[in-house]
Amino acid sequence: MYSLDRGMGLWTLLEGFLLLANALAILNEERFLAPKGWSFSEVSTSGGAKTLKGQIIGLIYAAQYLRVPLIVLNAITILMLDCW
């Protein structure tokens, strides 16, 4: 009998990173980021790109620009889970 409890492996870690990238990619700047002071324009004008906040905002914007590759990676993940 095949056990679904395989522990944390490389595939599980990659799925976790994919879920995190998806969560960052769907954040809306006008609704969520700007009211809390996390807009890209605020960081770029104040020169705070080297701070932790600036690095996180840069990561959010990188994930938003990589939406098409994320769609492809999600499709591959779904197909891989369907085959197992």
Structure tokens at 64: 């938003």
Read off the pLDDT of residues 32-80 as tens digits, 9 standing for 90 and up.
Answer: 888 888 887 877 666 666 788 888 888 888 888 899 999 999 999 889 8
Domain spans of the chain? Answer: 17-83
Q: How far apart are CA 76 and CA 82, in angstroms?
A: 10
Residue showing tokens 């990659």: 14
pTM of the model: 0.74
Task: Confirm if 42 and 75 have CB atoms less than 8 A apart.
Answer: no
Task: Confirm if 57 and 38 have CB atoms less than 8 A apart.
Answer: yes
